[in-house]
Amino acid sequence: MKSQFPHLSFLDCIRPEPGWQTDCALVSTYSAQVPVIAAVLLALSGEVDETGSGSRVGLVRALTGLRGKVHVVLQSGRLTQGRHDSAIAALLDQFLVQVPWNESAGADGKSWHAKFMLVRQVPEERGSTAERWVFMLGSRNLTLDTSWDIGFSLKGGGPGGRDVTPQRIEGVARLATDLGAQFPALARWTELASALRSVAWSVPRGLSVADLQLMLPGDVTRSLPKPIPQLQRLVAVSPFLDKGAVADLGRWPRRDEHTRFQLLSTRSALEGVLGEGGKLAGYELLALAEPELESAPHAPLSDDEAIEADRIGLHAKMIYAEHATGNTLWLGSPNLTRRAWTRNAECVLKLEAQDKYGTDLLRGGLEALLDCADTIDDEALDGSVSAPSIEDRLASARNAVAAQLAIGKQRRTPSGGVVIQCGQVPRPADAKITLHCGQMRGALTEWPDGATSHVLAAGGVDSDCVHCRLELEGVAISWVQVVPFEPSLDVEQRDAQVLSEYLGSRQMLSWIHSVLTGYTDGDEGGRWDDDPSRAPKRPHKSRVTHLELPTLEQALRMWLKDRSRLDEVDRILELRRRSIGGDQADAEREHLDRFATTWRVIRSGLPGAAS
């Protein structure tokens, strides 16, 4: 990998430093995969490891500790499963804010396409009023796609540095206010907007944030950036195009005949502009591979495996301008389409270079990216329009069905089952496409023709998340849909049951061991997403079965030093108490039961302890 491509691990950016913890976080994406959401939660809780994963115990700590603090906003129909069907996916309903917009509604179609993260961190030490902030935006979704993306990260409230300049950015506060007004679940962010206005963000030396916008449907002032006079060079990078936006940008005024207009996209997107009757004259055309937006989750590359730069798909979106007064870069989520700049929800940042150092920062990575692309002759492009493929038909149907299911409800039947009820038939308009739905970890059954409701097969996990699949001629597309229960689920009981089964007595004892001693014994259940049915069976050698029952003196000492640890043990045992059944009786379970009995006695003897 060339040095011009700095590797930005967004998980490292959002992981709190020692002594700090995540107070709240807002994550916005167009699409997501369950393993990546899990990795984000692990990072926000400080549980992520160097591979971007974590243990089973670590994930449970993240799920229980961050519920109500972290929200993931995403487009309806754009969440997919991981390598195998995990019950953990059912618990993500407490973190998801699904936007029920119809992406296929013709001229009124719109998508939640904004991609950013906003995180507030506070000290673990109680009583401190200090706070730190992290803000990131770019073109990356919460998926395992390895395409070229672009991002920009800022930290605020913490120590600065020699290579940064402090700057207040009003756009971050506006973003928080707008989201708090848009979604009831995010109302707290409206209250935090005043604090965000006073944050001094650390901007890389040589650069200035000229503007930050969360563009929402109905904003009358939003548009493609206004033309800059005296252009010396213009570079547009986008994997998706339409003829209108390409023409709008192409009309920006050039300084003279030496002004260069460059357009980096994919070959199919360039051909699509011609297929719409558009023109590409005036642009130097370049192309990279297609992004793998619907790629199946896959294992990470091994240490000796690499992907050549020209084989990596393009997913970055930016507009770069060199002009008489300096250098400007717009980056973020919008593609070079009129829909992106006028109807979708998009987030875009405008950066300006303040000196040669800043100019080199903006230009260096861009030039290296252009060097990886192939030069395209517009006469070699095929502008003919082909018939929609089966995959195209399924994708279009998914957009419409997801919008219909998003406004539906799950309800209990008189017999105790679960039924999805919609105001209209959610079957695709294409009669050859069939819809199948089911509970998480349950069987999928076909939605009846002409019906506005469908009873789900028994045996799955109760969740606002529902597993959906569309099928056509042996080809299928699957996703996870949020269909809220009415009345709401008892998520405490549901989570306790799922997490207790997910961990088992051994890992619960290991969790308690780490809380009481401050270190792990190494038995935290393996990677959170390992398939237990494929794991080799081997005898366990763990010290947790020999975990000594605490004395009143030890508990009192811990209560005086850090009573939050005692509260955490209470939460672990409450998970076990609320679960029904559980793993089979064995030495670990018997030891856990004895520990719980002793713990109740000790807790009742502590000053001010709840009975």
pLDDT digits (tens, 9 = 90+) for 234-246: 999 999 999 999 9
Give the mean model confidence (pLDDT) for residues 258-286. Answer: 95
- For residues 416 and 372, state if they share a domain: no
Q: How many CB atoms lie within 10 A of CB 448?
A: 13
Q: How sure is the predictor about 534, in pLDDT bands with cuts at 50, 70 and 90?
A: low
CB distance 255 to 231 below 8 Å: yes
Question: Across all residues in the chain, what is the average pLDDT?
Answer: 87
- Helices marked H in 428-490: none
Query: Mean pLDDT, to the nearest integer, of 525-529?
Result: 77
Residues 121 and 260 in one domain: no
Four-point Cα dihedral 274, 276, 282, 283, nearest 10: -70
pLDDT beyond 80 at 160 = no
Report yes or no: 84 and 460 within 8 Å, Cβ to Cβ: no
Of residues 367 and 87, the one with the higher pLDDT is 367
Are 78 and 210 part of one and the same domain? yes
Q: Provide the token pair at 446.
A: 């076909």
pTM value? 0.90
530 inside domain: no
Give CA separation, 359 vs 208, 258, 322, 367, 498, in Å.
11, 20, 9, 12, 53
Q: Other C-beta atoms within 10 Å of 119: how many? A: 23
- Evaluate if residue 536 carries a pLDDT over 60: no
> Is the separation of the CB atoms in 420 and 442 below 8 Å?
no
What is residue 533's predicted lDDT score, i.e. its pLDDT?
Answer: 55
pLDDT value at residue 250: 96
Quote the domain boundaries for residue 291: 231-297+310-376
* 383 domain residue, yes or no: no
- Residues 504, 441 share a domain: no
pLDDT: which is higher, 435 or 562: 435
Distance from the first to the final alpha carbon of the chain: 59
In a domain? residue 80: yes
Among 353, 376, 399, the domain boundary falls at: 376
Q: Are residues 79 and 37 in the same domain?
A: yes
H/E run at residue 466? strand 461-472
Domain termination residue (choose one: 376, 401, 433): 376
Domain termination site, one of 167, 186, 215: 215
According to DSSP, residue 140 is labeled -
Return d(Cα 149, Cα 556) in angstroms, integer. 52
**pLDDT band per the 50, 70, 90 thresholds, residue 611:** very low
pLDDT score at 8: 52
**3-state secondary structure at position 388:** coil
Range 379-385, long-range pairs (CB < 8 A, 24+ positions): 381/267, 381/270, 381/271, 381/274, 381/280, 382/271, 382/274, 383/271, 383/274, 383/275, 384/275, 385/275
199 and 276 assigned to the same domain: no
Residue 458: the pLDDT is: 94
Q: For residue 443, name the pLDDT band (cuts at 50, 70, 90).
A: very high
Of 89-98, 141-150, 340-349, 451-460, the range with the lowest mean pLDDT is 141-150
Whether residue 296 is predicted with pLDDT greater than 60 in this model: the reply is no
Check pLDDT > 50 for residue 367: yes
Band (pLDDT 50/70/90 cuts) for residue 569 is confident
Of residues 309 and 456, more confidence is placed in 456
- 316, exposed or middle or buried, with CB in 10 Å at 0-12, 13-18, 19+? buried
Q: What is the pLDDT of residue 522?
A: 57
Residue 103 lies in a domain: yes
Q: Is there a single domain that holds both residue 79 and residue 201?
A: yes
Q: Which pLDDT belongs to residue 567? A: 82
Q: In whole angstroms, what separates CA 568 from the centre of its chain?
A: 27
Asked if residue 172 and residue 140 are part of one domain, the reply reads: yes
CATH of the domain at 257: 3.30.870.10
- Pair (293, 424) in one structural domain: no
Task: Give pLDDT, residue 123.
Answer: 95
**One domain for residues 477 and 518:** no
Instruction: Give the pLDDT band (50/70/90) at residue 289.
Output: confident
User: In which band, very low, low, confident or very high, does the pLDDT at 595 lie, cut at 50, 70 and 90?
Assistant: confident
Residue 196 lies in a domain: yes
CA-to-CA distance for 15 and 419, rounded, in angstroms? 40
Question: Kindly report the CA angle at 499 between 496 and 504, in degrees rounded to 5?
Answer: 115
224 part of a folded domain:
no
Q: Does 303 have pLDDT greater than 90?
A: no
How much of the chain exceeds pLDDT 90, in percent? Answer: 63
Residue 550 pLDDT grade (very low, low, confident, very high; cuts 50, 70, 90): low
Q: Which residues pair with 350 in a beta bridge?
A: 211, 330
CATH number of the domain to which 405 belongs: 2.60.40
Q: Does residue 221 belong to any structural domain of this protein?
A: no
With a cut of 70, say whether residue 523 has pLDDT above it: no
- Does residue 334 contact residue 112 with C-beta atoms inside 8 Å? no
Same-domain pairing of 254 and 337: yes
Is residue 404 within 8 Å of 98, Cβ to Cβ?
no
- Taking residues 173-183, what's their average pLDDT? 97
Domain count, the chain: 4
Q: What is the structure's pLDDT at 333?
A: 98
Of 39-43, 203-207, 366-370, 572-576, the one with minimum mean pLDDT is 572-576
Average pLDDT over residues 579-605: 75
Contact (CB, 8 A) for 114 and 291 = no
Is residue 277 located within the same domain as residue 136? no
Measure CA 70 to chain center: 11
Residue 3 lies in a domain: no
